[in-house]
Chain A
């Protein structure tokens, strides 16, 4: 299942609970979740809306803390950090790719990519250099001085990937990165993520789409706050049936 089982995991969830109290009703968004992700993996966390996959992502992304359980990131317990400590972890260890790209419309693409580097406290020249390098890697260097609104959805998503890459984070966390894109562009984005993974980046993909998840090496399927499957993508029953249905449909056409 894991290539590097002998080394320490990058992400380790130890019996994580996230419980929301809404009035008298107790909602268990995560109900005792444990898993480990190692360096160099490409993992898809899949589940329907309300399954707990977003909560999972928020905790992995240090945007939220678990109610109970321990989250080790790079071996450090990050489950009880203050807001500013979380911010620092997000800045140095994580790169986010969002469904809606989440680029700041008033800034140029270059300035958008520079943002995490700026918060890192790098000098202007270093920021510029790293940002330009990231833009080159995702192939939109020529759009550096444009505003995000001047680009297509696919290009905007590339800018946001560049932003995630710029600070060389340990983990790239992609939350439904293809949700707002057409199938052709979606494929390009996923191809690019696979390419990044081949270059050694650890990628965690959050999605509800089985065909997207199928392209990851490993799949963690979440349902009602629990993990119902964790293994090779091709061994997941739902993915298998989805793919065969897909193939059948294509054959019929």
Chain B
């Protein structure tokens, strides 16, 4: 029997029972839509979090010193030496000191709190920062403890006219700092985003933070594939300096990212499994309606058999019909899912792109469900006795 003709007949039969067909499809529609929504939204969230992490630089290792107040401390020179000695593993190293200061708006008497980050002149290479105006910190700024800073676009837009920030002074804890550069916009310049930042020489920041020693360093690797080797070298050196491996922590951005991705994948898998149950229920719905349909069309089956239809012809007809119902359900589910995912994307302001593979898989699965759950009713139809079937009214 011709394939296109069978599909045509199947569609005609669906159309003649619109309400019933729609209700039958509903299980598949909801199941497929749920899968599409989950996959799209989860991918969107994962993508966004990854972007944030990649902004930090995925080649970086953060070293946190926890032995504050003890007699042993890690000096920047200790790590600079290590980096130089292991130039096959590392590119740069910078202290990273954060301090909360009060900041005064140049236009009003209002003060607010701001977080400043103390770093050295290589930090722009480590965190992939670049300035659109002015320049980044330089060695001399660090060495001479000059009161200069580089600001993010949030502060530029908040306090100054566009392009007028460089050369102005900003008061941090009452001390005027000269703005020597403005960073390229990383996010959307809004409050709390990566653009709300102030970088100053770490030599100054450690004073502002009121800690005698430097609490953390960021090291960038030459090759992210040699992460284990790089960590081992760092650990050896730090244990040697601090006397114990309990006094520091080493975290690689890449590892956090990998771990997060694996958590997201597990979560996604679990959610898809739950959505899959709805597909299963949908499949059972299709089987149920196909069984009804076989009973209703017993006479038709009898006629077809009397005219010479073999088992395979009848099987084919009903399986294709079931697959058509579930396939159309799948398409509607993909459309619905895509639409809902798009709306959720707008609401959550994340980039939601339904993946092509998810769409293909969802469609194939729904057609597959039709074939699997259509098989039993089709088998029943094919094995009907033609005489009894013809007599059926």
Contact = CB atoms under 8 A, between A and B. Distances in A.
Interface of A: 58, 61, 63-64, 83-84, 87-88, 90-92, 96, 98, 102-104, 106-107, 115-116, 118-120, 124, 163
B306 interface: yes
B210 interface: no
B140 interface: no
Interface in B1-47: 1-2, 5, 9, 12-13, 16
B308 A91 contact: yes
Contacts of B305: 87, 90
Nearest to B386: A63
B306 A102 contact: yes
Interface string B299-315: 11011111111111100
A98 B303 CA distance: 10
Given A58-B387, A88-B308, A115-B307, A106 B313 contact: no
Contact of B300 (A88, A91, A96, A104): A104
A119 B313 contact: yes
Given A58-B387, A106-B9, A106-B12, A84 B2 contact: no
Given A96-B306, A119-B304, 6 more contacts: A63-B306, A87-B309, A90-B306, A106-B16, A118-B5, A163-B307
A84 B311 contact: yes
Contacts of B1: 118-119
B14 to A, nearest CB: 12
B390 interface: yes
Interface in B130-189: none
Contact of B308 (A103, A106, A107, A119): A119
Interface in B340-393: 383, 386-387, 390
Contacts of A102: 299, 302-303, 306, 390
A186 B302 CA distance: 25
B309 A124 contact: no
Contacts of B306: 61, 63, 90, 96, 102
B310 A87 contact: yes
Contacts of B5: 118
A116 B308 CA distance: 6
A64 B387 contact: yes
Contact of B2 (A106, A107, A118): A118
B281 to A, nearest CB: 29
Contact of A92 (B303, B308, B313): B308
Contacts of A124: 2
Contacts of A98: 390
5 contacts: A87-B310, A106-B13, A115-B307, A124-B2, A163-B307
A61 to B, nearest CB: 7
Interface in B101-156: none
B42 to A, nearest CB: 44
A214 B247 CA distance: 114
Query: Which of A58, A98, A115 counts the most B-chain CB atoms under 10 A from its CB?
Result: A115
A104 to B, nearest CB: 6
Query: Which of B16, B306, B310, B313 counts the most A-chain CB atoms under 10 A from its CB?
Result: B306
B311 A119 contact: no
Contacts of B13: 106
Contacts of B304: 104, 115, 119
A92 B2 CA distance: 19
Interface in B305-332: 305-313
A68 to B, nearest CB: 18
Contacts of A64: 387
A24 B16 CA distance: 46
Contact of A88 (B12, B16, B310): B310
A172 to B, nearest CB: 13
B123 to A, nearest CB: 74
B383 to A, nearest CB: 8
A119 B307 contact: yes
B312 to A, nearest CB: 8
Contacts of B302: 102
Given A58-B387, A106-B9, A124-B2, A96 B307 contact: yes
Contacts of A163: 307
Nearest 4 A-B pairs (CB), nearest first? Answer: A91-B308, A119-B308, A116-B307, A87-B310
A155 B165 CA distance: 93
Nearest to A95: B307
A13 B199 CA distance: 105
A90 B387 contact: no
A83 B383 CA distance: 9
A61 B308 CA distance: 11
Contacts of B2: 118, 124
Query: Which of A87, A90, A96 counts the most B-chain CB atoms under 10 A from its CB?
Result: A87
A61 B312 CA distance: 20
A84 B310 contact: yes
A58 B305 CA distance: 13
Nearest to A85: B310
A91 B307 contact: yes
Interface in B268-303: 299-300, 302-303
Contacts of A61: 306
A106 B12 CA distance: 8
A235 to B, nearest CB: 32
A181 to B, nearest CB: 19
